[in-house]
Amino acid sequence: MSTGTSSSAGSKHVRPLSPFMMYRWQYSNTLSILNRITGILLSIGLLLLVYWLIALASGADAYAKARTLLTSPLGYAVLSGFTFSFFYHLLNGVRHLVWDVGYGFEKSTARKSGWLVFLGSIVVTLFFWFLVYNTRGAA
Amino acid sequence: MSLRSPMGRVLGLGTAKGGSHHWWMQRVTSVALLLLTLWFAASLLHFATFDYAVLIEWIGKPVNAVLLSLLIGTSTYHSLLGVQVVIEDYVVGKLLKTVVMMLLSFVHAAVAALGIFAVLCIAFGVAA
């Protein structure tokens, strides 16, 4: 992505501008930046996954501490955000793969798949936690 | 028409061979992660109360230990590829960009090594 200025001395041509300088805010770039943000959150979440595994490998006492931390209100909040990030990044990733194969570029289709991804990730996240809550109750 | 040779014109414009490698590996890892993460998410739903003994037994099974190691390796690689694009887009200055990228490569390698080592310790029943 290159940022150019149109007023450099002696230049006859208007040089291209970076997208963020010329486009109005709309659904497509919101979904795009959300993909990047959730990706970064998932990268941080990887630290959490590895912390959990190290705690498990370190024995029952260390794991009990990690479990208490992760099942605290803050722990649940972080895990919920992580779950939403995961499902959003996953569904939008599939959307990208479909584009890569060459389908879904029509404006109306892209808009529909965008809504599907966004609402779908909220629904799947809620459903996942419902299942977690249910198995917990059954055990 | 330019008098420069075709070679002279393309020199310094970047590689012709490896240009799509980053993009392609991002797709390969994303398809792998699609399968691995869904397996992991589905597995998590079976643990109910996330008891220590249950999890140790689960990771102790060869299939789970191998898949979990693959999950860690693939996701850290995919993460590094993604983070690289973010760095390239937002970090200004060639030196700073290189240093930040190098540090984040180290962090990703360390995270992958620690995660896989932890899984292997559990799988082989060795205290970490």
Banded model confidence at residue B105, pLDDT cuts 50, 70, 90? very high
pLDDT in tens, A5-50: 444 445 567 877 776 666 778 888 889 999 999 999 999 999 999 9
Average pLDDT, chain A: 88
Q: Which residues of A touch B38 (CB under 8 A)?
A: 90
Q: Which two tokens stand for residue A52?
A: 């959990």
Residues 6 or more apart whose Cβ sits within 8 Å of residue A36: B82, B86
pLDDT at B127 (0 to 100): 77
Residue B38 and residue B44: Cα distance in Å, rounded?
A: 10
Tell me if A56 and B118 make a contact (CB, 8 A cut-off): yes
Whether B30 and chain A come into contact, CB under 8 Å, resolves to yes
pLDDT of res. A17: 74
Reported ipTM: the value is: 0.87
Amino acid at A103: Y
Residue A3 pLDDT > 50: no
For residue A119, which amino acid is it?
A: L
pLDDT tens-place string over residues B67-92: 999 999 999 999 999 999 999 999 99
* Mean pLDDT, residues A109-118 taken together: 95
- Asked if A50 contacts B128 with a C-beta cutoff of 8 angstroms, the reply is no
Candidates B49, B122, B42, B36; CA nearest to B76 is B36
Predicted confidence (pLDDT) at residue B59 exceeds the cutoff of 50: yes
Alpha carbon B93 to chain centroid, angstroms: 25
Instruction: Give the residue from chain A lying closest to B36, CA to CA.
Output: A90
Q: Which amino acid is at B48?
A: A
pLDDT of residue B20: 86
Closest by CA position to B115, among listed B62, B59, B61: B59
Distance CA A23, CA A19 (A): 6
Q: Please name the residue of chain A whose CA is at the shortest distance from the CA of residue B112.
A: A50
pLDDT at A1 over 60: no
Percent of chain A with pLDDT over 90: 73
